[in-house]
Amino acid sequence: MFKYILKKEFLLISRDIHALLVLFIMPTLFIIIMSLALQNTYSNTIDTKLQVAINTLSNKDTTHLTQEINKNNYFQAKITNNENIKELIYKKKFDFIVNIVQEYKTQINTNKKDFHIDIYLNPSISLQNQLLFKNLLTEIISKQIMKEYFIKNKIDGKTLSKLNDKISIIPTYKEEKFKIKPTSVQYSVPSWLVFSMFFILIPISNAFINEKNFGTIDRLKSMDIPFISIILGKMVPYFIINQIQVLFMILVGIYIVPLLNGDTLQINGNYGLIFMMSSAISFAAISFAIFIANISSTSEEATTIGGVSNILLAALGGIMVPKFVMPEFMQNITTFSPMNWGLEGLLEIFVMGGGLSDIKTYILYLVIFGCSFLALSYMVLKKKENV
């Protein structure tokens, strides 16, 4: 019997073009777009460097300053001879304009009272990049001055001059053997995977509401089929579809994103953990979908309620905006979204090399969430005298 239930659900899904678009094409596009868009955020290089104009006359110091900026992976500088600032930003497309006097070193060394450096910038430049550039400028000028001081006082400043190279950034993983570089695709795949798994709501609610409205559910209930079989008959096929989504999205990360010059998704052999986590997410998503289907009268109503709920849960859960860019109070709010539990669990596996002990809490939360919504669905059905 179960074979035919599965066959029926798969036939219906395979013939529902909208469901296929939502479950497979939408997340694929999200993964590709976001992996490529956020590539620079997780990389120590940048494809298009931010353009800097050192808006002063050329001399030995300003030339040196420009050369030092150009050694940085994020910025490219050139000297512009006191040109109009707005023209430099909006016509010549510079991102930063540094207004600095030629004899800046002398003025710093003599503590000249009105000395200052003005950095004009395109307002669209992120605060992160603004601070990065300001720190870089401070570092280069400080080094220039200190180098002269060291030479003058015969102090060996070799180590200090190469201090930047002496500072290493070492990602520390929970599992010693885990050596996966954190890249945008390692974040994008789990994020959009969780999001798309919750969109199983669309085909589930359509199927439930059609069965309700067409009277098929009455026919099923009049037959000698236990209620639990009807529910399992819905949950198991969609659980399998969720697992196919997981496989599909991982393959997109491994094979499709690199074709478009993105990073390659790396899986460190933690297939068992991925399956456990994806099963818990699937259970939560399907239970939530069944609840929405039960409280809605039409497909339009279910799609609206479900779609809006999913987008809110995604926004709150750190799917749309990465959690690390959120202020603390927002980061605390994310812990109330089931999508965040799913995402954090998958990130533990995909990015941090975590084990079962690191994901068990998230699995527990998702299972409790799923059970709660199943219980609520049962109560709604019971109230409607449908059980």
Residues contributing to the site for other proteins (CB under 8 A): 1, 3-5, 7-8, 11-12, 15-16, 210, 213-216, 218-225, 385-386
**Least distance CB 243 / other proteins (angstroms):** 23
**Least distance CB 223 / other proteins (angstroms):** 6
d(CA 290, CA 200): 10
**Least distance CB 297 / other proteins (angstroms):** 15
CA 358: distance to chain centroid? 20
Q: Which residues, in sequence order, are bridge partners of residue 118?
A: 99
Nearer to other proteins, 35 or 294 (CB): 294
d(CA 140, CA 61): 11
Nearer to other proteins, 3 or 177 (CB): 3
CB 334 within 8 A of CB 340: yes
CB 92 within 8 A of CB 117: no
DSSP conformational letter for 49:
P
149-174 burial, b at 16+ Cβ within 10 Å, e below that, comes to eeeeeeeebeeeeeeeeeeeeeeebe
Q: What does the block give as tokens for 317?
A: 């859960």
**Least distance CB 308 / other proteins (angstroms):** 26
197-223 burial, b at 16+ Cβ within 10 Å, e below that, comes to bbbbbbbbbbbbbebbeeeebeeeeee
**Least distance CB 386 / other proteins (angstroms):** 8
Nearer to other proteins, 8 or 78 (CB): 8
Nearer to other proteins, 8 or 174 (CB): 8
d(CA 257, CA 245): 16
Nearer to other proteins, 302 or 343 (CB): 302
**Least distance CB 24 / other proteins (angstroms):** 18
Nearer to other proteins, 63 or 213 (CB): 213
Question: At residue 41, what is the residue type?
Answer: T
